[in-house]
């Protein structure tokens, strides 16, 4: 890489940090910090959703999927289209009917309104821990990109991947702590446009030109890489079960629902996000992964795409694309840190504070401290992950298996009770964790199906929710006879 690329990268990162400082000065209360004062343009929100959901982590993961599977890897983001549009049709009308009136700021706020404080507290704990792990996955994606491109060496003699992890964590945590949701959403828009334009209009054409065209690509790769059906049914089912439900329980998504002015704007944002995920980003990511396999056939799958960007692009363009990739990673990591921080601050810590400690500036300072702590723990988790995609999918599994059923019940089943929701969260989430960690195993006949532990966690969660809700219904609110 040329010094010009390093200069472009440095200027780009400083610009992103400057935006964070700008919005830091505008945040006057907790509502500004977490939901952007509920007045953000739907297209900004839609692009921010794509940047958060796909971001650098899924971009790097998609490149790895394309390297290993070819075009069939694009089904990974088909789940985003399905999840976004189902949410727009079935969930947004219900949540936008009540969020502004109730003053919701977090996903557990909705569960507290429907069930009780115990359910909201457990949901906040699961969501907060899950998004902390997801933040770690994004930081690992940034470290892989940096160690293969701009930070291949360092003056401290550290392993490139570890040094890169520390650098990306420092930038991301600093920006997130100071910026709040407005900074996240508005920079997401710019970052995503730059990244997508750079991949589709620059990286793909230049790479194909250097490889000798699509004919050369077909000769170099197995025929299955050009098929959309070269995927095991169990893999597709696992992706759908693990990823689609996140659209019903994602704290980052609820914050953006609340940030939209009304139902029409929120739907517009979600439909926009779905289309950008599939087909636009899905096929761009896997196609570049396929190209990377031709150029670096012996590379670790998730490292091949960063290496391709480093070696194939001309001077100047390389710096822009790498900076855009970093900012996409940041856009996901900062959103996930904001989500986790919101869970811990608003849903877990705040209820235990005295009313005198709930002033606007005090809460902003507390939010910033908690956000910093979340980012620090995420770095430690990132150091233990091996592949970005597995880290993301494991985190999704942990959250989905416990939260999906009681959330859908909150929307659509009036008989669902707080006791049923608690049992569903604890039972479904625990089973999935036990299966993923190997503490318990499935019967041999179930093992041969190759289905993800999340599916079994959801099934158990659903059974517990149904049975316990019927056996232990919520008591109706007491009536005040003095009002008569």
Cα separation, 150 vs 423, whole angstroms: 48
The average confidence (pLDDT) of the chain is 85
Average pLDDT of 108-134?
Answer: 91
pLDDT of residue 82: 96
pLDDT of residue 480: 41
Average pLDDT of 254-262?
Answer: 91
Global pTM?
Answer: 0.84
| pLDDT tens readout for residues 180-199 | 667 777 777 777 787 788 78
Q: What count of other Cβ atoms lies within 10 Å of the Cβ of residue 4?
A: 13
Q: The domain at 3-371 falls in which architecture?
A: Up-down Bundle (1.20)
| pLDDT tens readout for residues 26-71 | 666 667 766 777 888 899 899 888 877 776 555 677 888 999 999 9
Q: Which of 454, 49, 54, 74 is nearest to 251 (CA)?
A: 49
| pLDDT tens readout for residues 195-216 | 788 788 888 999 999 999 999 9
Cα separation, 115 vs 355, whole angstroms: 23
Is residue 473 predicted with pLDDT exceeding 60? Answer: yes
Helices (H), 343-387: 360-382
pLDDT of residue 323: 77
**N residues, the chain:** 484
Place of tokens 């996000």: 273
Average pLDDT of 263-274?
Answer: 95
Partners of 260 in beta bridges:
40
CA angle 276–105–80, rounded 5-degree value: 20
Average pLDDT of 143-155?
Answer: 79
Q: Which of 474, 360, 391 is nearest to 113 (CA)?
A: 474
Token pair recorded at residue 295 = 């150029």
Helices (H), 198-316: 204-211, 214-220, 233-243, 246-249, 251-259, 263-275, 282-295, 301-312
Is residue 482 predicted with pLDDT exceeding 50? Answer: no
Is residue 20 predicted with pLDDT exceeding 90? Answer: no
* Cα of 464 vs its chain's centroid, Å: 28
């Amino acid at each position: 890489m040329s010094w010009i690329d390093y200069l472009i990268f440095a200027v780009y990162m400083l610009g992103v940090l400057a935006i964070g400082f700008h919005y830091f000065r505008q945040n006057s209360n907790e509502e500004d910090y977490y939901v952007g004062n509920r007045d953000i343009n739907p297209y900004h929100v839609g692009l921010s959703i794509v940047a958060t959901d796909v971001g650098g982590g899924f971009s790097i993961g998609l490149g790895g999927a394309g390297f290993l599977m070819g075009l069939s890897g694009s089904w990974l983001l088909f789940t985003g289209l399905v999840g976004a549009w189902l949410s727009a049709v079935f969930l947004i009308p219900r949540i936008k009917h009540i969020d502004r009136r109730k003053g919701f700021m977090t996903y557990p706020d909705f569960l507290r309104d429907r069930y009780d404080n115990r359910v909201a507290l457990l949901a906040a704990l699961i969501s907060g821990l899950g998004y902390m792990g997801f933040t770690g996955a994004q930081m690992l994606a940034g470290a892989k990109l940096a160690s293969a491109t701009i930070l291949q060496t360092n003056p401290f003699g550290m392993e490139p991947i570890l040094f890169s992890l520390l650098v990306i964590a420092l930038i991301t945590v600093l920006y997130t702590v100071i910026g709040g949701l407005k900074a996240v959403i508005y920079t997401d828009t710019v970052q995503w446009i730059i990244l997508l334009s750079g991949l589709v209009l620059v990286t793909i054409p230049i790479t194909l030109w250097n490889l000798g065209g699509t004919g050369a690509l077909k000769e170099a790769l197995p025929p299955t890489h050009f098929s959309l059906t070269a995927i095991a049914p169990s893999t597709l089912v696992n992706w759908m079960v693990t990823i689609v439900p996140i659209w019903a329980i994602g704290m980052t998504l609820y914050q953006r629902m609340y940030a939209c002015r009304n139902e029409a704007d929120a739907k517009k944002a979600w439909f926009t996000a779905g289309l950008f995920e599939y087909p636009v980003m899905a096929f761009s990511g896997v196609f570049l992964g396929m190209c990377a396999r031709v150029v670096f056939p012996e590379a670790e799958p998730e490292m091949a795409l960063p290496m391709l960007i480093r070696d194939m692009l001309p001077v100047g363009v390389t710096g822009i694309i790498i900076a855009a990739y970093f900012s996409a990673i940041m856009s996901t990591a900062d959103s996930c840190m904001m989500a986790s921080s919101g869970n811990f601050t608003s849903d877990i810590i705040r209820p235990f504070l005295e009313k005198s400690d709930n002033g606007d500036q005090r809460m902003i300072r507390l939010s910033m401290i908690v956000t910093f702590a979340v980012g620090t723990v995420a770095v430690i988790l990132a150091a233990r992950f091996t592949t970005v995609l597995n880290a993301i999918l494991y985190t999704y599994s942990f959250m989905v298996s416990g939260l999906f059923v009681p959330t859908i019940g909150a929307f659509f089943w009036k008989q669902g009770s707080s006791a049923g929701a608690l049992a569903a969260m604890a039972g479904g989430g625990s089973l999935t964790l036990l299966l993923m960690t190997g503490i318990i195993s499935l019967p041999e006949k179930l093992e041969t199906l190759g289905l993800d532990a999340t599916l079994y966690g959801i099934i158990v969660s659903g059974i517990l929710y149904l049975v316990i809700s019927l056996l232990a219904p919520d008591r109706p609110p007491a009536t005040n006879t003095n009002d008569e």
